[in-house]
Structure 1
Amino acid sequence: MFEQYLSRMCQFQIISCVDSCFIPVSIQATVPQTVQVGHVIAKVDVDQCDTITLDFTTSDPDFTVRPDGTIITVAITMVPANGRTFSVQFQDPNGQKREMNVLKDGLLKRSKRRWSPLPFNIIENDVMPFPKDVELIASDSSATRNVYYNISGPGVTEEPVGVFTVVSDTGMLKVNKAVDRERTPQFVFQARVFDRYTNQETDLPLPITVNVDDVNDNAPTFTGLLQFTVLEQSKAGTMVGMVNATDIDERGTDHTKIRYSLLSGTNLFYINPETGVISTKTDTLDREVNDKYLVTVEIRDMNGALNGLFNTATATIVLGMDVPICFMNTLFYDVKVKENQVEGLILRIPIEDKDLVKTPNWNTEFFIQKGNENGNFRIERDPKTNEGLIYLINPLDYEKTKNLKLEVLARNQADLSGTKAMWMSIPVDVSVVDEDEGPEFTAPTVFITVQENTPNDTLIGTYIAVDPETKSSAGIKYYKVSDPASWIKVDESTGQLKIANTIDRESHFVTNGVYNVTMKAVDASLKTGTGTVIIQVEDVNDHVPVIPSKDLVVCEKDGGEMGSVLVVAEDKDQAPFSAPFSFELGEEHDGRWAVKRLNDTAGMLEHTKELPIRLYTVPLMVKDLQGFGKTQTVTVRICRCRNGACLAYQNSTSLGVWAILAMLLALCLLLLLCMFFAFICVTKNEKMELEDMGDSGGILLKSNIEAPGDAVDSNLIIVPASGIDPLVKGSMIDVGWVGAKNSGMIEGGLGAQQNLLQQSGGVIVTDMETGFSGQNGGGQYGGGNMTFDNTHFIKFNNSAAWHTWQTNGLFLQQKLAYLGTREEGRYADDIIHAYGFEGVGSPAGSVGCCSDQGNQEDLDFLNTLGPKFKILAEVCNKK
């Protein structure tokens, strides 16, 4: 509750002693015991009174009455608990003085902490100075606390901002600027009260409503056009038109109550002051004397009072002459139209109308009343000339209709008035001109039913055309335009249709059992007509049920349970030549299988005894509803399954596209490598010369002594010259190296070395264990031979073979040494590289292709090869 609202409250009742101006009998208001300056006690309703002539006075100087009837205090007033009485005097419009008594009407009870002042009022467009006090808002918590007030919301902190403020200490609401009621008729914002020391709210927020009282600050305005038409010689009181106006001031008050009046033309026209309807005052209006009148109309608010705001405008009143339409041609109109003519204008109908141009009495509407039952025509009005325009919208056929008789009616938009004349109509005769047309088939489309597989040359129908003029088919030829499957042949002279090729209902050329053929007919003048033959293809039982998937899988089950597999069949025929199917085993079945029907198109195949995992073939007989079928063999694989598929099958089919491509790539690389070795082997190095270093004779002699034996012929040991042409460093040849066995003899690598020796000529290599031998030519050493470790036999037939053996071995040795030392410009990457690492190296060592060769310069391994190889080393190193 407001702080100033005390427990003892007074209620005043103003009793009207007069009933003029519709002042209410009583007004109740609640006031505190202590009333501050400017507090509104009550408000007398004077909206229906002339406030200019009213003059209010009060018997108590602490109160005053504003011109709008608001009773406020002009000094701080104490109202005793038993009430207070004073009177208000005023003078009514008749000059008589009246008085209203303010009487006590009982005591007011205090509400608990609910501050709810009455809605406040301010006047729009109030004048300076600002700010002005509006009303005091207070909470009864201020009686026990030191409080302050603030407000927020529209008009305060929201648009329009800053209209209202509050004195925080006293709660006085102030208005800071003029307000336009037409933009904001009401403000609703919140007031809050806080303890000054704790800043805590002492009451709930209170909504404050401020109504903006309207003042007559807007003049009424005209809406709509002020142009009217009335027929000449109309009777007095005939409505000419209605003036419309509006006022944006507050509705339901005199500020928006408009009265209409004429400032000119009052001798001929009259306007209703309340509705704005203009009417004629005489029946002597003559269009030939004056066809247009300009009158001034005034609109004034305040119900036409002198102090009301007003506006004026000029209204135009046009006199019309209500004369019926006259056709320029008073008899009829004749028009010729070619048959099959496309849409277009065929006739203009000129008219004459003496009414005022561009008015409803002049604007003409045309209608075709007869002769257009088929909708072949439409009629419109030319907005410029007011003529009637007849258009053809559907082509005409001379053979069906040679002449059409239309009846066209013309009338104005406005009804006839003040005359007994009637609307006029005129006949229009349309003649259709014949033209030579192409032949027409007896029907645009014909339907023929044909069974599929009908024999060739079978006559299925005739499709002919006639000349529209002669109704004869003489001289007309027939041709096919479209026959996608070439199933039909057409007799050129008679139009007979015969089967040319076997018709198959299951063909993709047939859609829903229908096959279309387009034909054309050509007459002697080469004019054509087209037609369509729709062939309904009937089904016959020309297909038996088939099993599309014949590779079946039966998953092995535990516990001796028999497995089964679903067999699905399909038939291209339609019912009743297809499903339901019957399933049975073929005559040659082995008794280990059984089949039973599952549904119309599927059966269940199962084995009747335990069968091992493998492939089985089972004959099945599937028949359609008519009993037609054949025995078909299906393959059944019994296997262990995962997700319904054989495990072995899954593995065999696990290779993807990329795996297959990788295998093909590897095969291609292997093929290229073989071609490379073949090229090396067959190429003669005519330009390669190697000096004999003299280290070895290229052969080994059998010796059974620990030291160099006397039986060794030193002439046979040929030491090649040192040095190799550097041009051969890129010519790597794959030659088997000579190895050693426990027998102490050296064995030739009979892989690529054997091919090399054979291609060199005069070498025979025999494998003593397998008996395989190869031979190339003969030489001067025809009787010589050598045996190595009782396994291989090598015979050099000429010195060229021996020289080739020696040269290639030396070349390969130097080539490997070169690749191991060169880092730039090398032709092979598979050499030993040094890599930095921390920790212990791998015990496996290098995994390159040459890793088994080790360090060729380290000969310590010879010390571990045994005494026989030591003797061999001494022989090879002998100079």
Structure 2
Amino acid sequence: MYRHAVLCFCLAVSVLFPCSESCQLSPIYALVPKQLPAGYIISEGTVQLNLQGCGLRPVAFTSSDPDFAVNTDGTIITLRGVVITTKLFAVHVKDESGFDWRVDVILTCKDKATQKSGNVVHRRLKRRWRPLPFDIVENENPPFPKDVKMIASDSSVNHTVYYKISGQGVTTDPVGLFTLDRDTGMLRVTRAVDREQYPRFDFKAQVFDIRTHVETDAYLPITVNVEDKNDNAPQFVGMRVFTVQEHCNAGTIIGRVNATDRDQATTPHTLIRFTLLNATDMFSIDRFTGVLTARSNNLDREAQENVFVGIEIKDMGGAEGGLSNVGTAVVTLTDINDNPPTFKEKLYKGQVMENQQNVLVLRIPVEDKDMINTPNWKALYEVTKGNRSGNYRMETDPKTNEGLLYVIKPFDREKTPVVKLEVTARNEAPLVRTSDTWQSVPVELTVEDEDEGPEFSPTILYLNVKENLPNGTVIGTYKALDPESKNSNGIKYYKLSDPGNWITVVESTGELKVANTIDRESPLVTNDRYNISIKAVDETKKTGNGMVILQIEDVNDNKPVINNTEPIMCNRGDALSSVLVEAVDKDQSPYSTPFIFKLGEKHDGKWKLKDASSSSVVLEQAVNMPNGLYTVPLLVKDLQGLGEEQTVNVRVCSCEREVNGVGECGARSASSSLGSWGILALVLSGLLLLLLCLLLIFFCNTKSEKVALNDDAGSGGMLLKSNTEAPGEEVKDRAFLTLSDGLDGLDNGVDRDIKNVGLVDGRLGQKFFQDEGVYNSTTRDFGTVKYTLPGNHNGSLYANNTYQKYGNVNTLDTWRSNKNYLDRKLTYLGEEEDGRYADDVLKTYGNEGMGSPAGSVGCCSNLGEHETMDFLNTLGPKFRPLADICYTTTNTKI
């Protein structure tokens, strides 16, 4: 039964997947022994494995069973010993296009004894359910439902059963696709199925006893494979727009046309074949890969820039009955520079006026078939003949691509009436894939006549003259000619420039005469040359310019002159000093150096000359001289003996410095300057004195019992008044402060706890604490009543060597305390006899009105100013020494 099922499956495959009438890949059947040794040949290269009739060539074979192998010629052999009854496996054949073909191989055993029914029953009973997985074909035609297969369980032999199915296609999407006859087990499909949507269904079947509804067998997993049907035509995928250079080589890959098919992969249903419908002389396409290539190397963009290529795609490898589709690919040919610019005319002519320059004289058009506004089209022009003097310039009009010919130097028609040139046009990009070359064209320019002004000949006239010539001396004649008449008739001459006004020009003849002294040494002369500009004017008022350059010859008209007539000579004590004296002469050789130096006739004999050179001499002391100013007569003459006696004022001094033989006198009074070492000594002394002061302060303020204070607020201490300059040892041994939690006499509602700590001068001293502050107070007797004096709000608390800022005793509390004290004092004074306290007693005066501009003049008028507590915020470190002593004494008693 199993073998027949396999045979049916293979036949179904061969029927459902026909390639064409000539490409039928039927299964390979082989009758073999039950026991196969290794290396046993199952079949030699068959027509199926060699794809005969398919028009394809196999390139690789693969066996689905590891016990078998396929040689490169299609021969199937065993790799190891195998024992079989019936064997089914597949051989996959890959063709030259990369497509995979499947060929089923069915092996049947020659020994019939192995096919006994007992064995078959044993195998069927072992699996309990029958049959094998089911197959349906997609998109079957009505009517529905259609029977698929019958399922049965061996438990039906002993039980009366019914069947039930559930799962995909039954109870889940797509619900109701499959139904089952509960009594017979017939599986049916109710409608057509699209394999591209549901390629496979997996559900299960169950069998129950009809009476007890208990399963009589384990459930059966059922797989229904949807067999593919060639119901989808291939479709193009992606863009079909390509570019390639024109005149590319044949075989150049242009691009790839992509297509896909929704049918089952690796089957003939998805084997797509590509075919060109047109432009087959220009392009070719691979029939299975879709790669588009150039077929010719004569693709010309100028003939056709965009080529529309029709392409057919067909499945089943292009066989009849296959589904197809048609599309269009666009191939754009890109430009290369295969066309040089060409001239429209064989000769171009133009005109230019003489004496004109930097003017456009001709436009030369060209044609170019290449793409506009690209380097292949843009032209570059050059005058290749007739431009040795650089009279022309070529440019390109960026809009029209025309050549523009400019004349940059003027022409003289009398010399050159006609000019012949040759212009060559090129592209910015070089020529490729063409035998053409750059083209040239002749150009003829006619120079038109113009009435010109007179012309000097030569344009620049050089005249050699000596300086200091007498005025009126004629040094030359400079004339101009009319270009047309070639004579000087009617021409007049004028000066344009003469910086020193040395020359006059005779208007009618052009003679040049000396007007002022010509001086070669003048700053107007450069390299012995002096320039004069002359203008010539004809009868028609046309002008022409020329230049006269005077080459001035030197004469001996300058004497040598000493540069520095007040040199400084450094006093070297007992050694004789010297100084260099230099002279200059504006004349040239042989009227200048070498100079002759001599001492004047009236020199005093204290000087001598030595080491004379061409322009200098060393003046040296003949005797030792003190500091002072000395006058030395010195005679200096040039090579021709022209010279005079000059005076040199030599200053002898003690030089502060001397650089390259040139001295610089020092200060006249040595006591007026300390010098750098003196200044340094003063600075160091000041620094040492400052350091000493800092050390003294440090030692004077340091004690072994010193309390660490943190003066972060810069205030808080109070200087107590005392009749002694400092507390003695007896004061330190006694406590004179008392502590309390409040201020005596302040009406603030805070409980106060007064503790007597000790006595000060026989009186009770008390200290009050309020929050974090300290209020010190003492008592004083007034008669029989004791009054509390205002205490010192020192704003600090000494405890554990820590200084804390006090901020709770404010100005209002202070004034309340002062008021209480004054009220009691005035009451006491009023009770005593008259005159005892003089003016301190409160008097009663008459009302003088609204008040006085001077304010109150009583004894208590300035109470507010004297009793203010603001000074507590500014005591700072002045209070620290006294606080240190007080704290030390108090701390030892506590």
Class of the TM-score when normalised by the shorter of the 2 chains: 0.3 to 0.5
TM-score normalised by structure 1 residue count:
0.39
Structure showing greater Rg: 2
TM-score normalised by structure 2 residue count:
0.38
